[in-house]
Amino acid sequence: MNKHLIVTISRQFGSGGKEIGRKLAEKMHVPFYDKTSIIQISKERGITQELLTEAEERSNDSLIYSLAMKQYVSKNGDIHTLPIYDQAYSVQSHIIQEAAQNGPCVIVGRSADYILKEFPHCIRFFIHAEIQKRLERAIELYHLSPEDSNETYIRRKDQRRSNYHHYYNDMGWGEASSYHMVLDSGEVELDDCTRMMWDYLQAYCKKKDLEFPPLSGEDNR
């Protein structure tokens, strides 16, 4: 059984979850994975950008399509019988599982919390914030166009993330009971969120007799 720590971070759009994850990974001296890096590895394994894009679009289709695909998986029982765009998810799942098997790491998004739910020391965080604060951060960070600089755009992005999550699993996206810790990044600085997550991980590892930080005995605070 693996005895190392894995951190997964789910987040609302504009909450700063990716930046928090990157800061935490740097602080822990462990690899960091997000959508960009996982897609890049997928391409190296033969999944084209076209298929990756279609997989994203399919996961954001209607609830009816999502339910139909779950019935398809249940009936056929083999991921390789799925349409090729759903095999893209399978490849990304294997990448996430391999990353977790290889050692401690921080993974943002990609339903990693569900994919690694059976991993013995996988800590799940969720980052959220009030929508106006997320909009302000998104405008500054992503340089949104005037037509996208509104709360409707933010809610649409959240819905896409929720749809992607629920399309492939039944864990409640954003529901407190699905996570070890939920943080409001709108009320404190991102560095403070990172520090609170660090403290939680340190306490968890002490209780479970795990090394922390995983790859260094030095407390970098």
Q: Which amino acid belongs to residue 189?
A: E
- At 80 the pLDDT is 47
The pLDDT value recorded for residue 82 is: 55
Q: Inform me whether the pLDDT recorded for 123 exceeds 80.
A: yes
| pLDDT value for 148 | 86
Residue entry with tokens 């968890």: 204
Task: State the distance between the two ends of the chain, measured CA to CA, in whole angstroms.
Answer: 30
DSSP assignment letter at 217? S
Q: Is 183 helix (H, G, I), strand (E, B) or coil?
A: strand
Question: DSSP states of 98-125 as a string?
Answer: HHHHHS-EEEESTTHHHHTTTSTTEEEE
In the prediction, which pLDDT does 66 show? 47
Report which of residues 78 and 27 the model is more confident about.
27
What's the rounded Cα separation, in Å, for the pair 111 and 215?
25
152-190 pLDDT tens trace: 999 998 988 887 777 766 777 888 999 999 999 999 999
Please tell me which residue, 53 or 102, carries the higher pLDDT value.
Answer: 102
Per-residue pLDDT averaged across 76-89, rounded?
Answer: 57
Considering the chain, what is the average pLDDT of its residues?
Answer: 83
Q: Give 167 or 94, the one with higher predicted confidence.
A: 94
- At residue 217, the pLDDT reads 36
Domains and CATH numbers, the chain: 6-44+88-208 (3.40.50.300)
Mean pLDDT of 8-35: 96
d(CA 103, CA 119): 12
Beta strands 6-11 and 105-108 are parallel
Q: Is 182 helix (H, G, I), strand (E, B) or coil?
A: strand
pLDDT band at 197 (very low <50, low <70, confident <90, very high): very high
- b or e along 26-50 (b: 16 or more beta carbons within 10 Å of the residue's beta carbon)? ebbebebbbeebbbebbeeeebeee
pLDDT at 67 over 60: no
